[in-house]
């Protein structure tokens, strides 16, 4: 059944959360949905944002709801077929299948960000044109309060000003969300609900840049020795030392015609970030990767682009506790509800691959609360906040503790992490009633909420602490007896 108030929505940001929310609302019968997106198109290729996503069971709750999981599977590499080749500095190669620690785990799907966003966009273009319109190259520049309504001011590609007075505003405009910042400005005198609370992590501040390579680039000068699109690669450099050694990381791609992207992730003080000209970059790469036929792999234009690109930095884990606000009575068409979804409300480095999955889960849970409340925003939005807040807080903590050392920032800390990981794995297999696996593994179980995973992880830490304390006490007392 459709209610008369289920219309007039403005979604700011057409990334995974925004387009997912548009489809979810349209499927629930909402109409007159406008998505404002500042980029020129859904599949717009930005070299330094061309990372791959792994859509796991959590993200698939939404793609299942939207009936899109089979299409997702068609354009992705499944986690069950994840093969990985390590290429050493001397050219030696070793291919392994990514071990699957939990055989019950739902298959996850690897695909580039642009392909994923395009999947949602195509669904809108093919089936929901009557209820959803997307305005590309249109940027929200201001949000104004008018008694019981909010007015959204946007600027279109031809510099025209557009103005909307919607029933529902979805803030899915990423880390620097104008929606969240505006709510924060309005409320900062009386509350910090929309201020981002930040939490340190060893992976925060790491710099990254992406090199774009041809689809099946040559791996050596031998004829026919080409990279396979569905294979992941880690290519180690000839250099040693914290500020010289680098690695090219390539994730698998289903489409053999699509260019490959090689991620370079390293400390801000690394030599590669000091290189300013294309000649310097070219020389560095040649010395770093003598095992690769670089001239055949990377075009001079790409080297020049890489040299001039500013790259990106991993953000600090952060979230805001406020997820919604309501003015007036949106159900009576006299008011506006605002909700924050995805990175606009919680953002962190990509260590545990939950950025996109948590954003999609936000949309899924919002749909559940809308379903429970006949889409009454005044009831649904507070209910959503209450349901989601504890999980967001737990998620940010999980990002801090789960695997921030994976980028080789500190070999000793990485080894200690591995020790902790395998200790928990062994103990949980032997004594499952007392110990849980490491949180990095638990996150892969989409049936557990982030709060449940954190509680299990903390419980195991406590038991390990008590056991460790007991062992120390026993050692001390046995030493005393000997003396």
Among 423, 462, 457, residue whose Cα is nearest residue 442: 457
Separation CA 453–CA 352 (nearest Å)? 13
38 binds ligand FAD (CB under 6 A): yes
Residue 294 CA, distance from chain mean position: 30
36 binds ligand FAD (CB under 6 A): yes
| Residue 11 DSSP SS3 | strand
Applying CB under 6 A, which part among 31-39, 293-301, 377-385, 434-442 lies near ligand FAD? 31-39
Separation CA 127–CA 225 (nearest Å)? 43
Work out which of 248, 356, 365, 392 binds ligand FAD, going by CB under 6 A: 356
| Residue 296 DSSP SS3 | helix
Tokens (6 digits) for 138: 């249109």
Tokens (6 digits) for 316: 């600090």
Which phi and psi (to 5°) does residue 222 adopt? -65, 135
Minimal distance, residue 103 CB to ligand FAD, in Å? 23
Residue closer to ligand FAD (CB basis): 39 or 446: 39
Work out which of 8, 34, 69, 172 binds ligand FAD, going by CB under 6 A: 172
Work out which of 7, 11, 14, 248 binds ligand FAD, going by CB under 6 A: 14
Residue closer to ligand FAD (CB basis): 330 or 342: 342
16 binds ligand FAD (CB under 6 A): yes
Work out which of 171, 174, 322, 335 binds ligand FAD, going by CB under 6 A: 174
Work out which of 178, 323, 365, 399 binds ligand FAD, going by CB under 6 A: 178
**DSSP state, residue 74:** H
The string of DSSP codes covering 320-338 is: -S--EEEEEEGGGTEEEEE
Separation CA 466–CA 461 (nearest Å)? 9
CA atoms within a 13 Å half-sphere pointing along the CA-CB vector of 305 = 13
Applying CB under 6 A, which part among 194-202, 221-229, 231-239, 351-359 lies near ligand FAD? 351-359
77 binds ligand FAD (CB under 6 A): no
353 binds ligand FAD (CB under 6 A): yes
Among 406, 405, 329, residue whose Cα is nearest residue 167: 329
Applying CB under 6 A, which part among 180-188, 296-304, 350-358, 379-387 lies near ligand FAD? 350-358
Task: Count residues binding ligand FAD (CB under 6 A).
Answer: 30
Minimal distance, residue 346 CB to ligand FAD, in Å? 8
Minimal distance, residue 367 CB to ligand FAD, in Å? 16
Applying CB under 6 A, which part among 230-238, 273-281, 342-350, 471-479 lies near ligand FAD? 342-350
Minimal distance, residue 469 CB to ligand FAD, in Å? 37
Minimal distance, residue 354 CB to ligand FAD, in Å? 6
Minimal distance, residue 279 CB to ligand FAD, in Å? 27
Separation CA 182–CA 2 (nearest Å)? 31
Largest Cα separation within the chain, whole Å, is 87
Separation CA 317–CA 297 (nearest Å)? 35
Applying CB under 6 A, which part among 25-33, 172-180, 238-246, 303-311 lies near ligand FAD? 172-180
Tokens (6 digits) for 320: 């805001």
Cβ within 8 Å of residue 220, ≥6 positions away? 91, 291, 292, 293
Work out which of 312, 387, 421, 448 binds ligand FAD, going by CB under 6 A: 312
Minimal distance, residue 349 CB to ligand FAD, in Å? 8
252 binds ligand FAD (CB under 6 A): no
Q: For residue 1, count other CB atoms closer than 10 A to its CB.
A: 6
Minimal distance, residue 314 CB to ligand FAD, in Å? 7
112 binds ligand FAD (CB under 6 A): no
Which phi and psi (to 5°) does residue 396 adopt? -65, -40
330 binds ligand FAD (CB under 6 A): no
Rounded to whole angstroms, what are the CA distances from 229 to 85, 202, 232, 263? 12, 32, 8, 15
Minimal distance, residue 19 CB to ligand FAD, in Å? 8
Chain contacts with ligand FAD (rule: CB under 6 A): 12-18, 36-39, 51, 53, 139-140, 172-174, 178, 208, 312, 342-343, 350, 353-357, 359
């Amino acid at each position: 059944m459709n209610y008369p108030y289920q219309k007039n929505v403005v979604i700011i940001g057409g990334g995974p959360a925004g387009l997912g929310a548009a489809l979810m609302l349209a499927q629930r019968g909402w109409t007159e949905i406008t998505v404002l997106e500042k980029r020129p198109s859904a599949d717009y290729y930005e070299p330094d944002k061309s990372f791959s996503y792994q859509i796991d069971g959590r993200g698939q709750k939404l793609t299942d709801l939207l009936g899109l999981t089979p299409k997702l599977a068609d354009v992705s590499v499944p986690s069950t077929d994840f093969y990985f080749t390590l290429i050493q500095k001397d050219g030696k190669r070793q291919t392994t299948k990514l071990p699957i620690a939990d055989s019950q785990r739902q298959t996850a799907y690897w695909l580039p960000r642009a392909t994923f966003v395009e999947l949602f966009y195509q669904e809108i273009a093919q089936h929901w044109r009557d209820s959803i319109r997307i305005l590309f190259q249109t940027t929200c520049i201001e949000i104004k309060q008018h008694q019981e309504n909010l007015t959204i001011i946007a600027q279109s590609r031809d510099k025209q000003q557009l103005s909307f007075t919607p029933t529902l505003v979805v803030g899915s405009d990423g880390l620097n969300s104008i929606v969240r910042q505006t709510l924060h400005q309005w409320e900062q005198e009386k509350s910090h609900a929309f201020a981002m609370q930040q939490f340190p992590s060893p992976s925060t501040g790491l710099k990254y840049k992406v090199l774009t390579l041809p689809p099946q680039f040559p791996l050596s000068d031998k004829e026919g020795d080409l990279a396979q699109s569905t294979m992941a690669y880690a290519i180690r450099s000839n250099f040693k030392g914290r500020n010289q050694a680098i690695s090219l990381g390539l994730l698998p791609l289903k489409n053999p015609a699509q260019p490959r992207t090689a991620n370079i992730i390293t400390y801000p003080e690394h030599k590669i970030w000091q290189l300013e000209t294309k000649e310097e970059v070219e020389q560095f790469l040649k010395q770093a990767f003598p095992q690769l036929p670089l001239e055949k792999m990377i075009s001079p234009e790409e080297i020049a682009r890489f040299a001039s690109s500013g790259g990106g930095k991993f953000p600090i884990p952060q979230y805001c506790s406020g997820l919604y606000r309501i003015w007036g009575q949106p159900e009576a068409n006299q008011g506006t509800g605002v909700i924050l979804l995805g990175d606009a409300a919680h953002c962190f480095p990509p260590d545990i691959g939950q950025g996109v999955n948590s954003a999609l889960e936000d949309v899924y849970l919002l749909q559940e609360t809308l379903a429970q409340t006949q889409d009454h925003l005044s009831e649904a939005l507070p209910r959503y906040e209450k349901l989601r807040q504890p999980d967001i807080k737990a998620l940010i903590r999980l990002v801090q503790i789960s695997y921030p050392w994976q980028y080789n920032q500190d070999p000793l800390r990485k080894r200690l992490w591995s020790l902790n990981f395998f200790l928990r794995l062994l103990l949980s297999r032997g004594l499952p009633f007392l110990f849980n696996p490491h949180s990095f593994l638990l996150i892969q179980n989409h049936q557990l909420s982030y709060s449940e995973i954190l509680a299990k992880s903390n419980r195991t830490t406590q038991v390990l602490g008590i056991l460790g304390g007991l062992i120390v006490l026993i050692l001390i007392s046995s030493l005393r007896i000997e003396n």
